[in-house]
């Protein structure tokens, strides 16, 4: 009976730690992916703007100042959307991380230490 109690204590204390480490690793990977996607989105927005500028110059000749400003505003809006999307995903991950932390804390509080202590007594 004492061996069973020791195994239960070991499993109860080991499992949350290993699952927390695994969750932490997956969260870090997700955050890396978000950063990569954000960078790619911004790069694509800049490339689209550059392509539009070069196409406009080739087809129409000289651009007016207003046309150039409009293209840069479109680029800025696209970049802002990239940032907003990344922030939204980061907030979703942060909410999940908070939930995981709260659940782990709740599990830690549920371990009936007096009962485990009594079961370990001879």
User: According to the model, what pLDDT value does residue 47 have?
Assistant: 93
CA 35 to chain centre: 9
User: According to the model, what pLDDT value does residue 3 have?
Assistant: 38
Residue listed under structure tokens 């809006």: 77
Residue 117 pLDDT more than 50? yes
How many residues make up the chain in this entry? Answer: 122
Residue 11 pLDDT more than 90? no
Rg (CA), the chain: 27
- Per residue in 36-66, pLDDT (tens digit) is 999 999 999 999 999 888 876 666 666 678 8
How many Å is the maximal CA-CA distance in the chain?
93
Share of the chain above pLDDT 70, in %: 65
| pTM beyond cutoff 0.85 | no
- Token pair in block for residue 91: 């907030």
User: According to the model, what pLDDT value does residue 76 have?
Assistant: 95
């Amino acid at each position: 009976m004492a061996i069973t109690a020791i195994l239960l204590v070991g499993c109860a204390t080991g499992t949350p730690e290993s699952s927390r480490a695994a969750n932490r690793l997956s969260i870090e990977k997700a955050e890396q992916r978000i950063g990569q996607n954000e960078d790619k989105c911004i790069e694509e927005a800049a490339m689209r703007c550059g392509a539009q500028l070069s196409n406009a110059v080739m087809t129409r000749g000289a651009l007016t100042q207003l046309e150039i400003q409009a293209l840069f505003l479109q680029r800025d809006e696209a970049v802002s959307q990239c940032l907003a999307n990344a922030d939204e995903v980061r907030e979703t991950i942060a909410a999940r991380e908070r939930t995981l932390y709260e659940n782990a804390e709740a599990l830690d509080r549920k371990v009936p230490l007096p009962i485990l202590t009594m079961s370990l007594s001879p």
